[in-house]
Amino acid sequence: MARVGDTIAGRYTLRELFTLGGEGMVWRARDEQLGRDVVLKCPHGSDGVARLRTAARNAARLRHPNIVGVHDIFVDGKVSWLVTEYTPGRSLAELARAAPELARSRAVAVGEQIAGALAHSHERGILHCDVSPENIIVTDTGEARLTDFGSSVDLRSANTGETPDLDSPPGKWRYHAPELARGAPVSPKSDVYALGASLLAVAEGRRPPGRHEMLLAQLTAADPNHRPSATVAATRFAELEQNSRLRNPAVLRRVVIAAAQLVALALLMVAAVAVPPPLPADLVGNPRTADPCALLDPAALARYGRIDLDTDGGNFDTCDLRVRLWGGDEHPDIGRVRLRLSVAAPEPTSQVAVAHIGNISVVSEPAGSARCVRSLALAGGGTVEITGERAAATGPDPCTLADTIATRARELLRQGPIPRRPGPFPADSLAHHDACAQLDPVPLGRVAGIDALHPVAGWAGWSCRWNSTIDGHVTVRYDRDAPKTAASGRPLTLAGLAAFRREGVKTRDDCTVQIEYRHFRGPSDIDRVEVVVVSFTGSQPPQQRCATTTELATVVATNLTR
């Protein structure tokens, strides 16, 4: 049994025991290495350890001033410990016990801050699933912070195993949204309901109902479709707080003076031509560091089921969302969304609809029965291509999937360029190689009519195409996929690399060789491989066409292994 003064892992000195109960111990401790106070949590039982790991994994992805940050998780003497920030203050539940009715102004401030924290979490695919007065810490200065992500669900990760148990949803039953009792899966709107229910539980009830009570009623609406998102809720709480501040005579006087100054400035400029602020000219930046996954919002599709983010399927310019029914990993996809960054602009035809919104043109192709494409043509060049697919007869409408993601991506791009990748590619990754440099004019010259001097490069040089003035084309592109097997084609060995050759991959007139370049473990902890795909399309006899493709693939493999 740990005691005050004990040192954990040779680093953390226990100072004060906050909690000792069925779920474990919670201590205030001193981090002797960094000279700061932290919180140490030590759970009881295997379920507690699992919650600890869930909290560490999911909260570590979040950086928000109103979320208690996670520093570390470690094992000391077979005991697991979680290290989080220390926030001096009391929980909302403790404040309610001390003063049974929380002042309306204070509740509004807490609502704005925690709604903002939930919006940040939902944008990154994390559902808290246990919003309650016990998990909201309020400091003496009025800062509110959300803690305890032990029941959280990661919508983006296929391997977390955090599938909601429909018979026993996570969190405290008192704050459960009504749809959870009906067996519906948790969603961002479940967190919104729990926030509203938490504030209602500590609300001041002696004054007549006002806008604050109306907002809480919206947050706790029985139908989740009638509840605002966490982002909208934060905005509405902020409006309430602003209105409350304007009732203060001193603040009101300052606002009136500022308004008069603005009117005077407007009169001085009345003859001038109003020029709108310039929009960013370049929304791409360095194409190699632009992150396609950052434009995807899994939480936006949460109502359709379990949403898994696939970062390692396709070229480096690609990211996918898989829509699946709630349950184990064996459940098949019912829908998909693929987002791909491209240098090619959408082709204008009479069948596409184009809408110009700021510095982005939204191109909508006609809907098919199982596929729907939306393209965002960016000012300064570059296209974000979003494809929605129905993968099962009961799957969601593909255009609804594509439109939802396209709208979220467009809103993000209105704020600035495509977000950057979280880190560099591994040093031995194909991403550092220019696909157009893998074939030079000499081997390409053996293909009739090929224009070897004017290749068409794809995004960041991760694909390349040489067109023939007579017939067909040659392409070299990069891919990420599961390791290849005999089902992938005829096995070959080219310059010491395993390769597989296959005819008719896309058309009857092509031959393709896939070269396995680098094996790695993906975020889902499964085996993946970076692949170079060399393809030749032409009207030659199949045997001759595949012989040419193999010759070209051998040159590529040799260049990559030098």
* Residue-wise burial string across 391-408, b where 16 or more C-beta atoms lie within 10 A, e elsewhere: beeebbebbbbbbbbbeb
**What are the distances in angstroms from CA 198 to CA 19, 134, 147, 173?**
21, 9, 14, 12
Main-chain dihedrals φ then ψ at residue 174, nearest 5 degrees: -60, -25
Question: Residue 486, SS3?
Answer: helix
Cβ atoms of 45 and 22 closer than 8 Å: no
Handedness of CA 140, 122, 119, 164 (dihedral sign): negative
How many angstroms separate the CA atoms of 465 and 313, rounded? 21
The yes-or-no answer on residue 428 being catalytic is no
Q: What's the gap between Cα 512 and its chain centre?
A: 33
The pair of three-digit structure tokens given for residue 484, joined into one six-digit string: 């290849």
Query: DSSP string of 115-179?
Result: HHHHHHHHHTTEE-----GGGEEE-TTS-EEE---TT-EETT-TTS-----TTS-SS-GGG--HH
Q: Spot the catalytic one: 72, 130, 320, 403.
A: 130
The pair of three-digit structure tokens given for residue 136, joined into one six-digit string: 């909201």
- Alpha carbons within 13 angstroms on the beta-carbon side of residue 379 total 15
Q: What's the gap between Cα 245 and its chain centre?
A: 35
How many angstroms separate the CA atoms of 412 and 292, rounded? 12
- Cβ count near 125 (within 10 Å): 24
Which amino acid, one-letter code, is at 71?
H
Which amino acid, one-letter code, is at 55?
A
Which residues are CB-neighbours of 269 under 8 A, at least 6 positions away?
Answer: none
How many angstroms separate the CA atoms of 215 and 235, rounded? 11
Question: Residue 65, SS3?
Answer: coil
Query: DSSP string of 375-429?
Result: EEEETTS-EEEEEEEE-STTSPPHHHHHHHHHHHHHHHHTTSSPPBPSSPPPTT-
Q: Which helix (H) or strand (E) segment is 537 a member of?
A: strand 527-537
**What are the distances in angstroms from CA 45 to CA 50, 52, 236, 547?**
9, 11, 42, 62
Q: What is the dihedral of CA 340, 343, 345, 347, to 10 degrees?
A: -80
The pair of three-digit structure tokens given for residue 507, joined into one six-digit string: 């058309």
Backbone dihedral region for residue 13 (phi beyond 0: left; psi -120 to 50: alpha; all else: beta): beta
User: Contacts from 180-189 at CB under 8 Å and sequence distance 24+?
Assistant: 185/302, 185/305, 185/306, 185/326, 186/127, 186/129, 186/153, 187/127, 187/224, 187/302, 187/303, 188/118, 188/122, 188/127, 188/229, 188/230, 188/299, 188/302, 189/224, 189/225, 189/227, 189/229
Residues noted as catalytic: 130
